[in-house]
């Protein structure tokens, strides 16, 4: 069996990845099983650089706040702001402190230098403005959408004034109160004002849609596209806050579902624009149902990747990253009967694995599931192998 498995592994290069896919997918996603390791992000940078240069991908999207990502996109496409400012204000989750993310932004900016606008590589965050402990105020997205429309559409068509929005939104700290994650009673998401804002957000997005022919001519497709992002984000945040105030047993399932749905909508919008490369946790990009335990409760929901795959079919490609060790987090050599253990026995440090050939080589016996001693790392689920177009395997992840 070892010989067969060895035959499924190839160098981590764009050409090897494309051979695993029936055609170039519109969205090609690379997952990671843990966050915060620059070794994995350096590998992402190398592979994505090749895919941009050899396969013509036009956007790189990562699991970061979609509104903050606009700061990075402005910098890489037109030089707005310094690299330091962009790393500070263009990433959520603390990703801006990563040397590999800094190198990615620097490289995209250099790649774009001297290219015509239509050929520039774009950057996007595709997560909602959500952190683990809470969600942003919908103010930024709602007021940006209203401002875009107010400058270009007859005032009589607007569902409300900027002052009305301001009054209903109130102070931002009402929305960002961290206590609301544990106590629904602390959330403003189901107040009368929040309910009214949901209707206004819907009316503003409908007006944007209805005025599309005029707006694309009056501004540009890019500006209109950005306004659509504001609309999606405002609606998603208001929906998220609504379920933050929920007291039913389904509350946490609804919250994780809304987050992945926001990610999926952002990815589908990027796919409309052209071929894009995507990087996030395996759990957000997989085609299978996602599961986790939170506060002792099992949660199950469809990930962004599952939703996008259902929409795009073969136009969505997904490579899961698996790894052998993260010794500085207590993740040691994988047991030999797990997928990671079988791949760890191969000679090279990193490679891309042809999953269909691997499942053939494994035959009817499913490998054992690896159990991680550290909560921050998610091993591959052997039952999900068929849902991956390939596996990128990294033998050892040293401390960044």
Token representation of residue 132: 């683990």
Nearest alpha carbon to residue 141 among 125, 151, 129:
129
- The DSSP code for 368 is B
pLDDT at position 354 is 96
251, 386, 400 from 296: Cα distances, Å: 14, 29, 32
Long-range contacts of 103-109 (CB under 8 A, 24+ apart): 103/42, 103/45, 104/41, 104/44, 104/45, 104/48, 104/60, 105/72, 105/75, 105/76, 107/45, 107/49, 108/60, 108/76, 109/75, 109/76, 109/79, 109/83
The reported pLDDT for the residue numbered 295 is 79
Residues of the chain with pLDDT under 70: 1-3
pLDDT at 2: 46
The pLDDT of residue 294: 82
Q: What tokens does 213 get?
A: 């022919």
In angstroms, the first-to-last Cα distance of the chain is 35
pLDDT in tens, 35-76: 999 999 999 999 999 999 999 999 999 999 999 999 999 999
Q: What is the pLDDT of residue 77?
A: 98
* Amino acid 1: pLDDT: 46
pTM over 0.85: yes
Q: What is the per-residue pLDDT for 3?
A: 46
Beta strands in 118-252 (DSSP E): 122-127, 130-131, 134-135
Decide: 240 and 258 in contact? Cβ < 8 Å. Answer: yes
């Amino acid at each position: 069996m070892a010989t067969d498995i060895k035959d499924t592994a190839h160098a981590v290069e764009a050409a090897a990845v494309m051979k695993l896919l029936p055609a170039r997918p519109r969205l090609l996603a690379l997952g990671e099983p843990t966050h915060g390791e620059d070794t994995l992000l350096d590998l992402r940078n190398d592979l994505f650089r090749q895919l941009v240069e050899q396969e013509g991908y036009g956007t790189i999207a990562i699991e970061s706040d979609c509104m903050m990502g606009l700061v990075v996109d402005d910098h890489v496409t037109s030089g707005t702001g310094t690299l330091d400012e962009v790393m500070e204000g263009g990433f959520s989750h603390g990703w801006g402190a990563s040397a590999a993310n800094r190198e990615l932004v620097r490289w995209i900016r250099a790649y774009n230098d001297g290219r015509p606008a239509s050929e520039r590589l774009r950057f996007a965050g595709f997560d909602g403005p959500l952190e683990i402990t809470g969600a942003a105020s919908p103010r930024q997205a709602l007021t940006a959408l209203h401002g875009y429309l107010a400058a270009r559409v007859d005032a009589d068509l607007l569902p409300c004034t900027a002052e009305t929005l301001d009054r209903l939104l109130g102070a931002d700290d009402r929305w960002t109160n961290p206590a609301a994650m544990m106590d629904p009673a602390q959330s403003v998401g189901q107040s009368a004002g929040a309910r009214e804002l949901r209707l206004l957000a819907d009316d503003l997005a409908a007006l944007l849609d209805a005025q599309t022919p005029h707006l694309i001519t009056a501004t540009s497709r890019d500006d209109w596209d950005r306004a659509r992002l504001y609309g999606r984000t405002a609606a998603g945040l208001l929906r998220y806050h609504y379920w933050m105030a929920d007291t039913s047993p389904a509350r946490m399932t609804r919250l994780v579902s809304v987050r992945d749905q926001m990610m999926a909508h952002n990815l589908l919008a990027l796919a409309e624009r052209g071929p894009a490369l995507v990087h996030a946790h395996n759990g957000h990009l997989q085609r299978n149902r996602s599961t986790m335990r939170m506060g002792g409760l099992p949660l199950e929901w469809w990930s962004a990747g599952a939703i996008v795959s259902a929409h795009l079919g073969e136009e969505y490609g997904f490579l899961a990253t698996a790894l052998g060790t993260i010794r500085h987090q207590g993740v040691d050599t994988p047991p030999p009967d797990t997928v990671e253990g079988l791949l760890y026995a191969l000679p090279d440090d990193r490679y891309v694995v042809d999953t269909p050939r691997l499942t053939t080589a494994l035959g009817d016996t499913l490998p054992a599931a690896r159990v991680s001693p550290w909560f921050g790392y998610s091993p591959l689920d052997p039952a999900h192998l068929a849902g991956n177009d390939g596996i990128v395997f990294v033998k050892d992840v040293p401390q960044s």
